[in-house]
Amino acid sequence: MPYQFEPGRIYRMPTHFGPAPGPRQIPAEANVDTTRSPRKTLISSSFLTEAAALERHIPERFALVGDPVVTVEFHYMTDIDWLAGRGYTMIHVWWPVMFKGQRDQVVGRFLAVMWENLADPIITGRGEIGQPKLYAEIPELRAVGASYHCEASWMGFRFLDVRVTELAASTNESRSEPPMQGTLMLKYVPRTGAWGDADICQVSFTPALTPDLTVESRKAAAGSVIFHRAAWRDLPTMYHVVNALADLPVLSSCGGLIATTRGGKSYRDQQILT
């Protein structure tokens, strides 16, 4: 007898061996405590660019809000519950937008692209959440005194360098930043055989609320972001992504952040907006 899907359980390819363990479906033996897991070191750096340049990279029904500021974040994570205590690193690239759908209207972070150095969360995040995750080699954070260096490569081609340095006195951030309701992304899956069509093209939304998150330390920083232009042969699956980001004019640096946090959530609160 062929198998039946169990109702209410999350599956992923391959579905033939039962419901899939993962961030939103963790076995009881994991003793999940979302106030403790994960531990994270967050390095962030932002820059002001031209609105017209940024607008070319947002989908229909989206509009820029506030200043056209691009933020690049490195999330160095350990103690991850659904990975049985292992860690990995995420990169987020986002800017502020408003989504105006037929029903929903949301101001949030437009998550334009992510990179991660582990395939498993790429698979779960793309399929279950719609996060635009790609793979990169991301070495451990480098720290020399109060300076930090974050980098990302693919098969030996370095495409991203972020450097931040702690500021002695915290500065007043006067930049106009609209209140963010959460994070917005476009879940997209192409249609097999009908090349150019899509089976899924949905606006996916992560509400900002994360009650179990504790910020343990937080320091303002000066920072820089450099994307390195690539040829096709350097990054044959994503040179177009890196080059588009490298081509954004850097009008000024908008400072950065070094933070350590503990706790998180499973993203079971993810929603499709319409």
Please, which of residues 182-221 interact with its own copies by CB under 8 A? 186-193, 195-196, 198-200, 202, 204
Residue 19 binds its own copies (CB under 8 A): yes
Nearest residue (CB) to its own copies, 175 versus 182: 182
Nearest residue (CB) to its own copies, 189 versus 252: 189
Q: Which of 65, 70, 129, 254 binds its own copies (CB under 8 A)?
A: 129
**Residue 177, token pair as written in the block:** 């930043």
Region of 13-21, 42-50, 209-217, 256-264 interacting with its own copies (CB under 8 A): 13-21
Q: Which of 50, 51, 100, 119 binds its own copies (CB under 8 A)?
A: 119
Q: Which of 83, 90, 98, 221 binds its own copies (CB under 8 A)?
A: 83
Strand pairing class (182-190; 105-116):
parallel
Residue 107 binds its own copies (CB under 8 A): no
Nearest residue (CB) to its own copies, 87 versus 180: 87
Task: Look at residue 238 and give its three-state secondary structure.
Answer: coil
The amino acid that residue 35 corresponds to is T
Question: What is the spatial distance between Cα 229 and Cα 159, in angstroms, rounded to a whole number?
Answer: 7
In the chain, what is the straight-line distance between the N-terminal and C-terminal CA atoms, in Å?
Answer: 39
Q: Which of 34, 48, 66, 158 binds its own copies (CB under 8 A)?
A: 158
Nearest residue (CB) to its own copies, 60 versus 172: 60
Nearest residue (CB) to its own copies, 119 versus 215: 119
Region of 138-146, 170-178, 218-226, 255-263 interacting with its own copies (CB under 8 A): 138-146
Phi then psi dihedrals of residue 220, to 5 deg? -75, 155
Strand pairing class (147-154; 252-262):
unpaired
Q: Which residues of 254-266 are buried (b: 16+ CB within 10 A; e: fewer)?
A: bbbbbbebbbbbe
Question: What is the spatial distance between Cα 259 and Cα 73, in angstroms, rounded to a whole number?
Answer: 11
Region of 43-51, 119-127, 176-184, 221-229 interacting with its own copies (CB under 8 A): 119-127
Element (H, E) at 253: strand 252-262
Residue numbers 30-59 binding its own copies by CB under 8 A: 30-31, 33, 36-37, 39, 55-59
Q: Which of 103, 145, 211, 274 binds its own copies (CB under 8 A)?
A: 145
Residue 11 binds its own copies (CB under 8 A): yes
Paired with 17 in beta bridges are none
Q: Evaluate the omega torsion of the peptide bond into residue 23 and state whether it is cis, within 30 degrees of 0.
A: no
Task: Look at residue 209 and give its three-state secondary structure.
Answer: coil
